[in-house]
Structure formats: structure tokens, C-alpha cells
Amino acid sequence: MIPPRVLIKTYLSPLIGMTAYFMQRVTGLLLLFYLLLHVHTVHEISGGPLAFNHAMDAFKNPLFRLLEIGLLGIVILHALNGIRIMVIDFGVATRHQKRLFWGLAVVIGALIFIAGALPLFMHSVWER
């Protein structure tokens, strides 16, 4: 009933800590799921050169590359917000938790993401 615009503004400003919490949980679960896939993949590729090459060909698919870049983003968000949580837990900067989120998790996160994703993106998605 409450207009979405009002709720979005609420969860981006006074209640940003709640948004960060949701994000931490969602990214955590996604990463746990990814770990499942990853262990399975390592099993696959360790079956000898043929299995390895077969898997590597599948990974050249642009969709996989995009998902991998997405994974990078999720890892960065979870890790930097995790650092922010540790800073808050030390009792150092509870007053600054919103600034910590936007500065640390988002701005620095975006910089690291671009640094990591750009090489991946440029080489893989455009070439066949």
C-alpha cells in the first residue's frame, strides 16, 4: 500500500543497514551454492585432458563469462560488507555505518570490480 518509491528511499537511507544485511545474507547463500558447483566442476575437469578440454570449451561460452563476472561482483560485495561489519563490531564506527556501506562496500567495491572484470569482459565476451 505504501508507494514503492517511499519504501525504496527508506531502505536506501535511514534503513540502509537493513539493506546491507539482506545483501550479505543473499550473497552468502549464493556463494555457498556456487561452492557446490565449483567442487563439482573441479571433479569434472580432473578426469583427464579430454574432460578438461571439454569443460574449458563450455566455459568459453559468453554466458559463463558473464556469470563469472557476476560472481566477482557478489564476492566483492560480501567481502567488503563483511569488513564493514567487523569494523562496526569493534565498536569503532557505529555512527558511521551508512558511510562505511556506501564508501567501502559500494565505491571501493565498484573500483575493484571494474579492475577485475574489465580484463575478463574485454577478452572473452567479444572474441569467439
Partner 1 sequence: MSRNAFAWYMQRITGALLVPLLIAHFWVEHFMSATLMRGDLTYDVILSRISNPWWQAIDISFLLIALYHGLNGLYGIILDFGKVGPRAATATLVLLFGVGVAWAIWGITAFHNL
Partner 2 sequence: MNRRIFINRSSSGSKSRWQNYTLECSPELTVLDALFSIQQQQDPTIAFRCSCRVGMCGTCGMQINGVSRLACKTRLTELDGKDVFLAPLPHLSVIRDLVISLAPFFEQWRKVLPAMRSRDAESQELAIVPEDSAYAQHTDGKRDCITCGLCFSECGVLATNKHYLGPAAINKALLRVLDPRDTARAERLEILDSSQDGVWRCHTQMNCVAVCPKGIDLTESIGFFKRRLLLKNGELES
Q: Which residues bind partner 1 (CB under 8 A)?
A: 25, 28-29, 31-32, 35-36, 39, 42-43, 45-49, 52-53, 56, 59-60, 72, 75, 79, 82-83, 85-86, 89, 116, 119-120, 123-124, 127
Q: Does 88 bind partner 2 (CB under 8 A)?
A: yes
* Residue 49 binds: one of partner 1, partner 2, none (C-beta under 5 to 8 A by kind): partner 1
Q: Which is nearer to partner 2, 65 or 98 (CB)?
A: 98
Q: Please count the CA atoms within 13 angstroms of the CA of 55 that sit on its side-chain side.
A: 14
On whether the CB atoms of residues 100 and 55 are closer than 8 A, the answer is no
What torsion, rounded to 10 degrees, do the Cα atoms 94, 98, 102, 74 define? 70
The alpha carbon torsion through 113, 119, 121, 124 (nearest 10 deg) reads -150
Pull the grid cell for residue 45.
575437469
The reply to whether 105 sits near partner 2 by the rule CB under 8 A is no
97 belongs to the binding site for partner 2 (CB under 8 A) = yes
Q: Which is nearer to partner 2, 13 or 53 (CB)?
A: 13
C-alpha cell at position 70: 557476476
CA triplet 76, 128, 70: central angle to 5 degrees?
15
Q: Draw the binding track, 1-40, toward partner 2 (x: CB under 8 A; -: no contact).
A: xxx-xxx-xx---xx-xx-xx-------------------
